[in-house]
Structures are given as structure tokens and as C-alpha cells.
Amino acid sequence: MLKIRMAKKEDVKKIAEIEARCFPVAEAAEEETLEKRYEAFSENFIVAEKDGEVIGFINGCTTDKPELGDELYHYPNLHKPNGDYQTVFGLDVLPEYRKQGIAEKLLNELIRLSKERGKKGVILTCKDHLIHYYEKFGFEHQGVSASAHGGAKWNDMYLKLENK
């Protein structure tokens, strides 16, 4: 059975293994980096667990600006707990568990939490082939990103949140 829950400190090692399998070396965060991010913004780490094993996760800091600058990846201390915008650094699901709606459940949970926390929007960068995927959730393509993370071409995506 699939369970979506907040990550625990002991999940970080498995999160790092998943990150290494889902991203090229130049783009993947190392375990030490993920540990520092978890220490800075554990409230933004959500995992998917199946039969007691972590098989996917989503994470990102919060910031005051509606943009995901590369510096946010490198300096966890730039996290602003009361920032208006939730970022998505990574939405990773192990390859053998893809196409089962797990990434959708993780993203929807982060969106739900962001609304509950009164955020104005959710921001992320993605590759060309994922623009359509994120548009299904209401994200708007803002154009090619200034990000040079991992030497790849990224696109800025923005989801405006309507808070009650």
C-alpha cells in the first residue's frame, strides 16, 4: 500500500539514493547536500512509501521571490520559512514505480501544504519534455530559465495558489 508522509531524518540516506538514480550526476544532489537541506527545511520533504520502503520524494525550500535561482540549491540557509513561494527542487520516483500516479500524489501533497501555509505560489524548473506534465497541475510555463544547474536547459514553471 502506498503512503504519502512527511520525511524523517532517517529517510535522507534513501532519498539520496533515489536522487542519484533519477538525475544525472551533474544535477543530482549528494547525500551531504540533502542532509543540509533537510536540516534547513524538513517541513518541505515529503516521501512516498510502499510496503515500508521509501520509493519517491519531493522537496524544496521557501523563498520571498517567485523565482528559483541556482543559489537556492547551493545555500540551504537562504530558505525563508515564512517566504511566499514554495520551490520544488526535486520530484523523484524510482524508475520501477513510475507511471503509477506516485509523483502526482507527492506534488499534490506539496501543493496542498503550500495552500494551507498561505503561500502565493509554487515554482519549479523542468526540462522541455516535462512542461506538459506540470501544466496538467495548473503550472504556467514562464519561458526558458536563467538556471544553469547541472549544465542543462531548464524551463521556469509557476503555479499561482488561491488561498482561502
Asked if the structure places residue 130 within a domain, the reply is no
Is it the case that residue 163 has pLDDT exceeding 60? yes
Is it the case that residue 164 has pLDDT exceeding 60? no
Asked if the structure places residue 153 within a domain, the reply is no
Asked if the structure places residue 148 within a domain, the reply is no
Asked if the structure places residue 154 within a domain, the reply is no
What is the domain-level CATH number for residue 31? 3.40.630.30
The domain in which residue 98 lies consists of: 2-118
Total of domains in the chain: 1
Asked if the structure places residue 145 within a domain, the reply is no
pLDDT band at 70 (very low <50, low <70, confident <90, very high): confident
> In the predicted model, what is the mean pLDDT of the chain?
94
Provide the CA 22 distance to its chain's centre, in angstroms: 13
